[in-house]
Amino acid sequence: MLEKRTYFMPAMSMIGPGVLQDVGAEIKSLGCSKVLLVTDAVLNKIGTVKKVTDVLEATGIDYVLFDGVQPNPTCANVDDGLKMLMANECDIIVSLGGGSPQDCAKAVSILATNGGDIRDYEGVFKSSKKGLPIVAINTTAGTASDVTINYVITDEERHVKMVMVDKNSLATIAVNDPELMIAKPAALTAATGMDALTHAIEAYITKGAYRLTDALAFESIKLISESLRDAVAKGDDLEARSKMAYGSFVAGMSFSNCGLGVVHSLAHQLGGVYNLPHGVCNAVLLPHVMRFNAPVCAEKMAKVADAMGVDTAGMTAEQAADAAIAAVEKLSADVGIPAGLAELGVQEDKLEEMAKLALVDPCAPGNPRDMSLEDAVSIYKAAL
């Protein structure tokens, strides 16, 4: 018997090379009067923002630019974006970038209609009103924030990454044009790509997984395993970039509707305490968490190995699960991810403090194997 489910996704998703050129007409059709364009200074400097503003101007859409989003967006970034939105009477948001601008835009959107402080919305389904319309234009194949009901904001006072799960933050239109991802730095491509792979693997084995999310996650694992090495090594490879865009997109549609696990719970704390890149933290932790989870989901992890192109013929489920872990470690090494957390400056004296926070992170309950404080500390230590 199929279980009763509620599935969330944007009202429209545009994906493929060149779709950016069609975005102006879709924004116009929403009937809004002025856009707040939320992005970061780097994308402005390298000319990516101009590609979007050219489309807005060609379609006669009025806009104001906020490019103050940091790599791990903070409460202050959200407040600054909201002030600009209110001062300019914007009634729609266009977010441009990877997960950081997308998440900041979601937070601004929620505050614009619900009021209060962004800290009020930490947790699951805390807002009561739909946020302002968002057109989420992605520039990396990684976070999939453009298609999910999740966003993460760093509370810089507590040094905590706040995880929000909120259907009211879902973008109206998601845009994935791989032409915007061409020639992105190899390290960024690797980190965001491994983030997407983590989304897919965690979604596939999470307690909340079901038939639809399994199909999406499996396809994502396949696409990323086939294309990430080429996307990192040849930044202008449009075919590899397109496969990564699709891989990230379908991973987002999967995990947004079934949840994640303790890779993310543990990684969020590293981001909050050390301000480290989220995708790199996920990549380093992923094989260690897979090893922890294997005793309770070996058969599903065996299918992860299949999706990654491993020949599992003649293997037991346990052997195939080990092969999946080895394949993840090999892919991570091939794209230049650091071998351990110590290389990123993580110190052992912070591990227990972070482990305690990881246990109450909203992603933790979805993990297929329950994690104790001792388990969390052990995983961190193994990942050093």
Crossing angle of helices 262-274 and 186-205, rounded to 10°: 140
Last residue of a domain, one of 180, 209, 237: 180
Residue 311: inside a domain: yes
Determine how many CB atoms are found less than 10 A away from the CB of residue 34: 14
Is 347 part of a structural domain of the chain? yes
**CA angle, 247 as apex, 101 and 184 as ends, to 5°?**
50
Q: Does 152 lie in the same domain as 293?
A: no
Regarding whether 295 and 175 lie in a shared domain, the answer is no
pLDDT of residue 273: 92
Of 132, 160, 180, the one marking the end of a domain is: 180
Does residue 117 share a domain with residue 49? yes
Spatial separation of the C-alpha atoms in residues 232 and 213, rounded to whole Å: 27
Within 8 A by CB and 6+ apart from 253, the residues are: 9, 144, 147, 216
pLDDT for the residue numbered 159: 87
Do 205 and 171 belong to one domain?
Answer: no
- Residue-wise pLDDT tens digits, 270-294: 999 999 999 999 999 999 999 999 9
Domain assignment of residue 300, yes or no: yes
Is 197 found in the same domain as 171?
no
Q: Is residue 312 part of a domain?
A: yes
Q: Are strands 173-176 and 12-15 parallel, antiparallel or unpaired?
A: parallel
Evaluate whether residue 3 is within a structural domain: no
**Residues whose CB falls within 8 Å of the CB of residue 234, separated by 6 or more in sequence, listed in order:** 240
Token readout for 355 is 């482990």
CATH number at residue 255: 1.20.1090.10
Could you give the CA distance from residue 332 to residue 281 in angstroms, rounded to a whole number?
11
Distance (Å, whole) CA 223 – CA 229: 11
Provide the domain count of the chain: 2
Q: Is 5 within a domain?
A: no
CA 51/CA 89 separation, integer angstroms: 24
- Cα of 288 vs its chain's centroid, Å: 20
* Diameter over CA atoms, the chain: 65
Q: Are residues 159 and 108 in the same domain?
A: yes
Do 72 and 204 lie in one domain? The reply is no
Domain coverage including residue 70: 12-180
Chosen domain end from 155, 180, 205: 180
Structure confidence at residue 1 (pLDDT): 62
Residues 216, 171, single domain; the answer is no
CATH code, domain with 158: 3.40.50.1970
The answer to whether the CB of 275 falls within 8 A of the CB of 217 is: no
Q: Residue 259, by phi and psi: left (phi above 0), alpha (psi -120 to 50) or beta?
A: left
Is residue 110, in this structure, part of any structural domain at all?
yes
**Is residue 176 located within the same domain as residue 204?**
no
Q: Are residues 111 and 215 in the same domain?
A: no
Number of H helices, E strands in the chain: 13, 9
Relative to beta strand 123-124, strand 62-66 is unpaired
Contact 217, 201 (CB under 8 A): yes
Residue 377 CB-density burial (10 A; 0-12 exposed, 13-18 middle, 19+ buried): middle
For residue 6, being part of any structural domain is answered with no
Q: Are residues 149 and 232 in the same domain?
A: no
Opening angle at CA 282, ends 278 and 286, nearest 5: 180
Residues 255, 319, single domain; the answer is: yes
Q: Report residues of the chain scoring pLDDT below 50.
A: none
